[in-house]
A and B are shown apart, each in its own frame.
Chain A
Amino acid sequence: MKNMKIRRMGFGFFRYLVLAILMVWICFPFFWTLLSSFKPAEEIFAIRGGIWPSYFTLKNYIWVFNNMDFLLTLKNSLIVSIFTALFSVLICIMFAYSLNKYNYPGKKLLVNALIVSQMLPGVLIIIPIFVVFARLRLVNTLSGLVIAYSTFSLPFSVLMLRGYLNSLPQSLEEAALIDGCSRFGAFWRITFPLIMPGIIAVFLFCFILAWNDFLFALILTHDNEARTVAVQLYNIATVQFAAGQWGGIMAESIIFTIPVVVVFVILQKNLVEGLTGGAVKF
């Protein structure tokens, strides 16, 4: 009995040790980015002097906000992400509602197509999209990016919202219909408010998808007219590797990540439920 207890304690200690190692690995990059973004430029490279900066400075952030490229691409990123989210939500509500409420031939096939289409390689699909967009003069335009992102986010969002709709009892809308509501009235007054958390989750999912994307923006844009922050950030760090600007790059990384974090903190519960409940279930 005593032996067992000791073993339990050893196991408990082991558990905390593993957790500690994993947590350091998970959190350190974030901590390091934040710290570096407040470091004076001369200490970014002279790391030999120690990890902690001798004083904190906002110079890196000032550099970022004085950078015209960043401001232009930030504007592009915001426009593209917001319009992608709005456009997707609109199409997605209609699509998910139709899948949930109506029966028509080919519906099952449609759902399967949605599941499978999430697995297509982006690098392959982008080749013909680029060829077609080039012909339609959609390359290097914001609308081109919005069209591409809305479609790419659609399968996941529709399946996610369908999950929400499926969890509501059909009798709710039926009751409203019997009481003399029109079909649209029943949807607008009963279903819509109830699936609001799902709609917000879809909106934010699409926003983040467009905000984070790198591959499509890299290929479909070639200057500040339509370039997004993801590509600009990659460019300053890789292509035009501005010597000594790693502090600025870290500051821009923090600014670029903040919207995602904000969105996430607001909707953590919805997003996690959507991920684990709606979309992954085949």
Chain B
Amino acid sequence: MEYIQVKIKQHRKKNRKNFWGILLALPGIITLILVLAYPLIKAFILSFQKYDLLKDQVPTFNKLNNFIKFFEDPNFLLYTKNTFIWIFFTVAGLFVVGITLALILSKDIKFRGLFRGLALIPWVTPPVVAGLVWRWMLDGQWGILNYLLLKFHLIKEPIVWLYQMPYVWICVIIVAIWKFFPFWYINLLAGLQMISKELYDASSIDGATSLQVFFYITLPMLQPVLFVLFILQIIWSANEFTMIWVMTQGGPGNITMTIAPLVYVTSFRYYRMGYGAAIGVMLMFTMIIISIIYINKVKQDVA
């Protein structure tokens, strides 16, 4: 009898503990539901509705029309291609810049602390400022880049960097890499510092070249960090709006329009909320599918 009573008491105590735990988490959970979960569901519903703020008072269901409309858009292929170009080159560039800088700054070189600090400049620059400053430097008439290139006779005529193919793509991607590489570099530097020195010593005794060390020791040891960085960056690049918008607004024409700014234009320039939501939902599901495939592939490779 006594034993049971003790058990009940323990159980009550545990329940009370649970209660406090949930109570403490509650304000956070409620805000998350109100401003993230609910909008997500609402966006999903909106994507099946016609809701043109300029015409419609209330949203009305129109089956799959929004999705069909997007697939039938003559620019559909262009937007999709742009988004993949954007994701591929930002991720690849960030990987190259991030790992190069992390490798150099993990070695014993002069003024290492200073360089490590300077490498964080893009990170502390607000995205709008980054976009505007680069736009100013790349200006066709008064930009410093044209001035320097002309002065050293590398080009004969000024180039209107942000209004010409393929320069506009190259510029936007390089600026995005400039803005986002510190996150890669910091994480890769932290990853490099976790690799034990003995591994390097052993390989140098065996006479491995620097390239061999890089491909057979450094890269495999960085794999866990790289895995997370790749997946996060693919998603972040796909969702990126500010850098493209501040630099080109998706222009000239639609040349640099990716899906994320397209969702903005559709919803907040033309006020087609339902159609915009449908494009956004498709973007999200594509990203979910790509993430799942990628995660599974990495799991297979490891196993």
List chain A positions with a Cβ less than 8 A from chain B.
11, 15-16, 18-19, 22-23, 25-30, 32-33, 36, 44-45, 47-48, 51, 90-92, 94-95, 97-99, 101-104, 110, 113-114, 117, 119-132, 147-148, 150-152, 154-155, 158, 183, 211-212, 214-215, 219, 230, 233-234, 237-238, 246, 249-250, 253, 256-257, 260-261, 264, 268, 272, 275-276, 280-282
Q: Is the CB of A121 within 8 A of B39?
A: no
Given A98-B22, A98-B24, A102-B17, also A18-B100 (CB < 8 A): yes
- Contact residues of A: prevailing secondary structure: helix
Known contacts being A33-B133, A94-B24, A214-B127, is A127 close to B273, with CB within 8 Å?
yes
Shortest Cβ distance from residue B51 to the other chain A in the assembled complex, whole angstroms: 8
User: If the complex has contacts A98-B21, A104-B22, are A15 and B104 also in contact, measured as CB distance less than 8 A?
Assistant: yes
Q: Would you call B21 and A150 a contact (CB within 8 A)? A: no
Q: Is the CB of B118 within 8 A of A129?
A: no
Q: Tell me which residues across on chain A come within 8 A of B183, comparing CB atoms.
A: 275
Complex interface: chain A residues within 8 A of B23 (CB): 98
Task: Tell whether B268 is near chain A: CB-to-CB under 8 Å.
Answer: yes
- Alpha-carbon distance A267/B144, docked complex (angstroms): 34
Candidates A25, A128, A154; contact of B43 at CB < 8 Å: A128
User: A95-B28, A98-B25, A261-B124 are contacts. A32–B133 as well, Cβ < 8 Å?
Assistant: yes
Judge whether B287 and A119 touch: CB under 8 Å. yes
Could you say which residues of chain A place their CB within 8 Å of the CB of B287? 119, 121
In contact, B21 and A102 (Cβ under 8 angstroms): yes
B contact residues around A22 at 8 Å (CB):
97, 100-101
A250 surroundings in chain B (CB, below 8 A): 133, 136
Number of B interface residues in the complex (CB < 8 A): 88
Interface check B277, CB cutoff 8 A = yes
- Which residues in A have their C-beta under 8 angstroms from that of B134? 29
With A22-B100, A98-B24 as contacts: A121 and B280 at CB distance below 8 Å: yes
- B194-227 near A? 1/0 per residue, CB < 8 Å: 0000000000000000100000000000000100
Q: Is the CB of A128 within 8 A of B136?
A: no
- Decide yes or no whether B299 CB sits under 8 A from chain A: no
Q: Is the CB of B283 within 8 A of A125?
A: no
Tell whether, in the assembled complex, residue A131 and residue B263 are in contact, meaning their CB atoms are under 8 Å apart. Answer: no
Encode contact with A along B98-122: 1 for CB under 8 Å, 0 otherwise.
Answer: 0011001101010000010111111
Known: A45-B142, A91-B28, A276-B187. A120 touches B126 (CB 8 A): no
Among candidates A91, A237, A275, residue contacting B132 with C-beta atoms closer than 8 Å: A237
With A and B bound together, what is the CA distance between A122 and B284 in angstroms? 10
Query: A154 touching B21 by the CB < 8 A rule?
Result: no
**13 A-B Cβ contacts within 8 A?**
A11-B210, A15-B107, A18-B100, A47-B147, A102-B21, A121-B283, A123-B239, A183-B20, A234-B132, A256-B126, A264-B124, A276-B190, A280-B187
CB distance from B27 to the nearest CB of A (A): 5
Is the CB–CB distance between A158 and B40 below 8 Å? Answer: no
Provide the bound-state CA to CA distance between A250 and B287, in Å: 37
A88 to B120, CA, bound (A): 25
Taking the complex as formed, is B149 at the interface, i.e. its CB lies under 8 A from any CB of chain A?
A: no
- Do A123 and B42 form a contact, CB below 8 Å, given A23-B118, A45-B142, A280-B228? no
Complex alpha-carbon distance, A158 and B29, angstroms? 11
Contact check, B104 vs A19: say whether CB atoms are below 8 A apart.
yes
Looking at B5-13, B30-38, B67-75, B160-168, the stretch in contact with chain A turns out to be B30-38
* Residue B242 lies at the interface, judged by CB distance under 8 Å to chain A: yes
Report yes or no: A125 in contact with B36, Cβ–Cβ below 8 A. Answer: yes
Return chain B residues, CB-CB under 8 Å to A234.
128, 132, 246
B136→A282 contact, CB < 8 A: no
Contact yes or no, B142 A47, CB < 8 A: yes
Contact A117-B32, Cβ < 8 Å, known A32-B144, A124-B280, A272-B186? yes
- B238 contact set on A, CB distance < 8 A: 121
Contacts of B120 in A (CB 8 A): 264, 268
Q: Given the known A-B contacts A125-B36, A128-B46, are A257 and B124 also in contact in the complex, defined by CB atoms under 8 Å?
A: yes
Instruction: Beyond the given A212-B127, A238-B246, please list 7 additional residue pairs across the A-B interface where CB-CB is below 8 A.
Output: A119-B236, A119-B291, A121-B239, A132-B38, A151-B35, A155-B32, A246-B142
Q: B254 interface residue, CB < 8 Å from A?
A: no
In the docked arrangement, what's the CA distance between A206 and B232, Å? 20
- When distances are taken between beta carbons in the complex, the residues of chain B under 8 Å from A128 are 38-40, 42-43, 46, 277
- Contact status B25-A253, CB under 8 Å: no
